[in-house]
Amino acid sequence: MSNSIAARCCTSPASTTTTTRQIRGVRVPFSHASGVSPTRERRGRRRRRRSSSAIVVLAFSSSTGGKSGKSGNVVGATTSSSTDTTTNSTNNTFKEEEEEEDRAQANNKKDIQQKAHQNDEEEGNKEEEGKEGQACPYSSVKSFFGMEKKEVPDLRPEDGSEPPVIDDISFLKSLVKAAQHPVGMPIAMLDWAEQKGECVGIQNAIGPDCVSILDPEIVEYVCHTNAKNYKLRMLPDAFRFVIKNKGITGSDGQYNREHRLMCQKPFINSFSLTQFSNTVEERINYMCETWRTACTMREEGKINVNIDNDSQLVTLDVIGKVAFAFDFEQCESHAAKLLRDEDIVSDNISQILDSYNGTSEIMGQLFITPGPILKLQYALGIGRVRELKEKYAILESVGTKLITERRETVKERVEEGDFNDYCLLDVLVKATDEDGNLLPDDDLWGDINDVMAAGHRTTASNFTVNLFHVARNPEIQRRIEEEVALLGGRAPTFDDVQEGRLDYTRMVVKESLRKYAPINLFPRLASDEDTLPSGHKVKPGDFILLSSYAMGRNPRVWENPLEFNPDRFTDESLRMQADKQAKASARDDPEKLEIAKERMRRRMAAGRDFTYTPFGAGPRSCIGGVFALLTATTMLATAVQNFKFGKCDDGVHEDPGDEIPIMYDTTICFPEGVWLSMMPREPKLGSELQQSSSSSEAPTQSKEEVPTTR
């Protein structure tokens, strides 16, 4: 696939191929100018560029996914001596859930496969009887604006009819519309769902055919039941040209599975998560102190900030320490600039950021360029292909140096009996292949680079959306305040999230992820012929369109999807949601209904229901989803503990209303910035409770800091 909608269709959060923006000495990926709204002319140019490439993406794509990286079985890393108490049990729950489902499916799996491949169209279409209909969130716009609610029509094909299909002309028209919309392809998918149904075939006369899927049951089929047939995903040629099939994003097959398992380890290990919690706590509190000091310097005692800008600085610092124990010092640089108008960025950090920013910028420019043209430009020395390779080579060289230093640090610790993992790189430097050899540096850097890109912008955007709604909704802010006050003035931690002390705050985070998904699409490619439960025939190389954005705004799953309502995620609401999905799955069969209800309730509780997919779904979903949820919840609770938030009132930035102006490149970004006001709480929430009980509390053990490299 070779175009910018292709880019939006084919990238996961782990991709590093993005546009960039300059922020306080660091051009931050996935966003736009910090603190200053771009002109309409510049926005128009950006959208026209997307439009010009949009039609090419699906029309001319013939790739069948990337080749696997070199296969070397990873035996594993030396594991931490500590065991996970909460996240590990959650992970085990997922495994038990899958095993139980596999056992439940064992009796009818053969029958399902036979039905999936049979040529009897009439019998295949009978499976559609009783299936719940489809619609688009535009049907609920009237309700959102206080007008009369419109019922969503049932658009399921009747028994014996053909599954719904979009012809090639209509498809191209939809692509043009999507190219002109800042959200991109999900808008077309929502239109198709309203017009045709939640699973729609797409005829493409000059490229691979597609199937657009919003039906949770069929998403489950693609991402779980028959995931082996849909494990490949699209990546731009520019990405593979530079990365060389390394990392979690650029690899496939056994190599990808092994590296995903390795990279997931610190995010489900209790010791590592404690270190990460300390990092998140320290970084967000540092930023809060900067904001507090800035407020004291203003006569009115408060400030207006572009929270999109500041959140990216916090999360870049966090992911640097979490990924490879490196301190980008962005919070310190921001404080120096904001409070003293000083620039304090070291040469070492500048070199890394310059290479990182340059790679991202050029990659964004070459995103739609086909592989043969890239190779020709590189050979002739034209364009920016050689510059891209040079920038990435510098970045990889610096990364290799950091890896070498970390190998020595970890070796010394192991010799002293310390087998703990303080960052992701600690896991990777101890990993070995099937012959017992340590993994090469380029393998390690590919993984680190992916995790850093994935964990930076996505978490920052969620934190931004959270505070936007807190600032606009006093009731939401009040309910978070009530939870945070019970902490007694101490800083919120991951433990508070995991142990249920910040349940409502977590629901706010989850609702933000539903309505403003970090990624808009997570498409897949079919490896072999198949027949979907909808009756659609799939050929090898066909494109399966899956969208976190569109699924989060599907009115058949979410009532009034344009409304921001954290109470969707209460236990009672989730049970009702599970029963609703179970009814659709059971297809009015009373014997299957109760079994389906229990199954869907377990899935909802585990976050694996295939209706809520902000981090993708299936084997290639985001490995850091749980960590991102913990981080965003902790950051939100800390911010509300320290400040009262409100709408921006500086008289300069226009109020956007209840919908944030967004666009998607590879992840969500905010072209206008997100401005709000903040006023310090004096004292911090819960401080009175802390003072009254301090005399009876035992002294707390000091936290061990994460060793960092500067």
Domain CATH code at residue 683 = 1.10.630.10
pLDDT value of position 380: 92
- Residues with pLDDT less than 50, the chain: 1-57, 59-98, 100-156, 695-710
Judge if 442 and 501 occupy the same domain.
Answer: yes
- In this structure, the number of other CB atoms found within 10 A of the CB of residue 692 comes to 10
Quick one: 227 and 294 in the same domain?
A: no
Same domain, yes or no: 200 and 227: yes
- 422 with 409, same domain? yes
Quickly tell me which residue has 């990924």 as its tokens.
Answer: 323
Give phi and psi for 107, each to the nearest 5. -70, -30
Q: Compute the distance between CA of residue 127 and CA of residue 154 in angstroms, rounded to an integer.
A: 16
Q: Where does a domain end: 577, 610, 643? A: 610
Residues 499 and 411 in one domain: yes
Do the domain assignments include residue 167?
A: yes
Instruction: Indicate whether 551 and 468 sit together in one domain.
Output: no
Identify the three-state secondary structure at position 304. strand
* Co-location of 432 and 312 in the same domain: yes
Verify that 465 and 371 share a domain, yes or no. Answer: yes
Binding residues for heme: 622
- Asked whether residue 365 is domain-assigned, the answer is yes
3-state secondary structure labels for all residues of 47-86:
HHHHHHHHHHHHHCCCCCCCCCCCCCCCCECCCCCCCCCC
What's the confidence (pLDDT) of residue 596? 82
pLDDT for the residue numbered 160? 55
The reply to whether 192 falls in a domain is yes
Minimal CA–CA distance to 61: which of 5, 18, 16?
A: 5
User: Does 708 fall in a domain?
Assistant: no
The answer to whether position 650 is within a domain reads yes
Give backbone dihedrals phi and psi of 372, rounded to 5 degrees, phi first.
Answer: -60, -40
Strand pairing category for 524-525 and 199-202: unpaired
Residue 678 within any structural domain of the chain: yes
281 and 399 in a common domain: yes
158 and 202 part of one domain: yes
Q: Let me know whether 463 and 397 are in one domain.
A: yes
Q: Do 492 and 504 belong to one domain?
A: yes
The number of domains in the chain is 3
Closest of 168, 164, 166 to residue 205, by C-alpha: 168
Alpha-carbon distance of 148 to 134, in angstroms, equals 20
Residue-number span of the structural domain to which 576 is assigned? 562-610
Identify the pLDDT of residue 454: 81
Instruction: Choose among 290, 669, 609, 645: nearest CA to 474.
Output: 645
Position 542 in a domain: yes
Out of 592, 610, 628, a domain closes at: 610
Residues 6+ apart with CB under 8 A from 591: none
What pLDDT score does 14 carry? 37
Residues annotated in a binding site: 622
Does 88 fall in a domain? Answer: no
